[in-house]
Structure 1
Amino acid sequence: MEPPPDRERFRPTPGRSREEMEALQRDIAASARFADDLPFDPATVGDPDGPLVAGVDQAFLTDRDPEMAVSAVVVRRGDEVIERVHAISPVEIPYVPGLLAFREGGPILDAFAELETDPDLALFDGSGRIHFREAGLATHVGVALDLPSVGVAKSLLCGTPARDTAALAAGERVPIRGDDRMSASATDTVVGYAYQSRQYPDSRRINPLYVSPGHRVSAETAVDCVARCGGDYKLPEPTRLADAYADEVKRSLAE
């Protein structure tokens, strides 16, 4: 799976200035659709005959020069793993807050290029619309591939929760509204949700996930899809499996 020719301009190639990267992110946000435009019924996500859902995650080989990224994509239909692929790519720019897609997006596209299947939906370990310029990793890669995508982040980059999220029960969701750290188009708009996927029954607390639309998905449908992907852990099962697969490849390279 590669970016269509008319979307090659969105590929997060290195060698750009910060101003050029931020300008491209604004172009990506303007091209993104934060509304449902799906080739499947969201209510069938996770069903045995439902859509193909790709989980995407990475591990890093920091002992190499240059540092290398192991990008993993695991595609499931229901509970069945249909395909899993990986790519090993050089990391060509350092981490810069707000510009994560330029560090990780190219290697992720390398992994998508290895797929034989065409996913209907992709879940990313990173933000979608909850981003300073509404163009987090899930939005950037989703727009580049024109693939429905959802960002599932472990921390809140920007935006303001509608209420406190410190002690949510499993299954609870709290709207995240755009704030003055984001572009003006997001102001006072629901850009995602804090979603409590799991919770301990005792006094220990698991922090929520921060779910936001990447491309061709609304905020409400994005969190519904993550909830339907379920699993026994905090992360939705597609991204948990991608995380485990990336670590498996990393260990094999170390050996």
Structure 2
Amino acid sequence: MRQPRTPRPDLEPDADLEREEMEAMQREIAAAAIFEDDHDVAVGSLSNPLEAASSDRDRPEPPLVAGVDQSFLLESERALSAVVVMQAGEVVERVHAVTPLEIPYIPGLLAFREGGPILAALEGLSTEPDLFLFDGSGRIHFRQAGIATHIGVVLDVPSVGIAKSLLCGEPRGDVDDLPAGTTVPIDANSRVDAPAGTVLGYAVQTRQYDSPDRAINPLYVSPGHRVGPETAADGALELATTYKLPEPIRLADAYADEAKRTLEE
């Protein structure tokens, strides 16, 4: 059972801060983050059919899982933040927001570029997701405060980072051509503000080709806030159905492109 929600609006990303101030805020966020399970979401309930859940009145409603992704209207220097909320494999809500981009991309400071637009989109939700998946890092971050951790702490919601490449840390084993379903721990190294050997997250192989001539790279999944690393990895595996990306993230990406096309027409 998770503890009552305690948002931290004082830690909202501020693009006007100096770099040193941003990094100091990230360290404060990492200190406030909970990198262990503190939620009511049961892995195994994320993609069950709604019919099966509703057939048993004693069974709780399947959790609401939000995928969050971004697209950009570069000519007008704006960000388009898209959110898709799913319940047991069905889309129940889609929202997006378009806001100005205030700073360029700086590795390790993504939340200060994209966090404001994401918060603007999340304000438009009528549902209250039980779990948020972000296209980006969580604890796998130089200061243990990627965008999933930053927004997770600000809103005090269970969150997970789903990254396509490894920002920092060291895989505990080979991550090339892994069989589907394999997870490999990512340990902290000298580039991370954490004791060496701390498990930051996992390389997660959600899908793999049945061919020796080509391979799918793993995702790098890490806890954002109120989720443990093992649960984050297991949830990513469960939510990745036909494609590499977990379905809420994949559909948020597609929705961001759809909304962007509409705006540009």
In the superposition, the TM-score normalised over structure 2's length comes to: 0.92
Aligned length: 249
Within-5 A mapping of 1:30-109 = 30-47=31-48, 48=50, 49-64=61-76, 67-109=77-119
Within-5 A mapping of 1:112-127 = 112-127=122-137
Within-5 A mapping of 1:135-146 = 135-146=145-156
Task: Tell me how far 1:5 sits from its aligned partner.
Answer: 8.1
Task: Tell me how far 1:25 sits from its aligned partner.
Answer: 0.1
Task: Tell me how far 1:6 sits from its aligned partner.
Answer: 5.3
Task: Tell me how far 1:112 sits from its aligned partner.
Answer: 0.3
Q: Cα deviation per residue 1:23-66 (whole Å; 9 max; x = unaligned)?
A: 000000000000000123223122234100000001000111xx
Q: Does 1:198 align with 2:207?
A: yes
Matched letter for residue 59 of structure 1: S
Residue of structure 1 in register with 2:246 after alignment: 236
Match of 1:42, SS state, is coil
Match of 2:184, SS state, is strand
2:144, 2:168 → 1: CA distance? 10
Q: 2:196 aligns with which of 182, 187, 211?
A: 187
Runs of 4+ in structure 1 off by over 4 angstroms are: none
Unaligned runs of 5+ in 1: none
2:68, 2:94 → 1: CA distance? 10
Matched letter for residue 12 of structure 1: P
1:39, 1:118 → 2: CA distance? 13
Query: Quick check: 11-20 or 43-52, which moved more?
Result: 43-52
Residue of structure 1 in register with 2:54 after alignment: none
Task: Tell me how far 1:12 sits from its aligned partner.
Answer: 0.3
In the superposition, the TM-score normalised over structure 1's length comes to: 0.95
Match of 1:142, SS state, is helix
Match of 1:63, SS state, is helix
1:26, 1:142 → 2: CA distance? 14
Residue of structure 2 in register with 1:246 after alignment: 256
Unaligned runs of 5+ in 2: 51-60
Matched letter for residue 68 of structure 2: V
Match of 2:75, SS state, is coil
Q: Percent identity?
A: 60
